[in-house]
Amino acid sequence: MGKIEGKYENIEHTKKVIRKMTGLRKGESCKQKFKELRILTVISLYVLEVLCYMKKYKGSISENLEIHDHNTRRKIDLHIQSCRTSSFQKSVINTGIKLFNHLPSELKQLHDFKPFRKKN
């Protein structure tokens, strides 16, 4: 459990620094300050990196329109692969597919990688 505790210490350390920079007291929320300073939280950074990975390598993952011929509103979504193990359910690929499918259509359809990263 030492690995998990270390991660939470880093998050708390980041919040502590933000509080000192902005003059917030210990119990006050710093969520709004993260937004004002345009600083991504650790979780937001993870989501961004997973989405960028999926955008970069999405050509190797089938879209729903490649799996079937039905004209559905989800035809440009990435096909969610069936999985039997919990380790695959929690994998970066599977999580990335689910996150990518929640993006607005205009972000999914961007062809170049750099504007995708900036729009996110």
pLDDT at site 108: 78
pLDDT at site 1: 38
Q: Name residues whose C-beta falls within 8 Å of residue 11's C-beta, 6 or more positions apart in sequence.
A: 41, 42
- Domain residue extents for the chain: 1-39, 45-120
pLDDT at site 3: 47
**Per-residue pLDDT for 7 more than 70?**
no
Which stretch of 9-18, 63-72, 99-108 has the lowest confidence by average pLDDT?
63-72
pLDDT at site 4: 47
Reported as a single tens digit per residue, the pLDDT across 10-63 is 677 788 888 888 888 888 888 888 888 888 888 888 888 888 888 887 777 877
- With vertex at residue 60, the alpha carbon angle to CA 94 and CA 100, rounded to the nearest 5 degrees, is 45
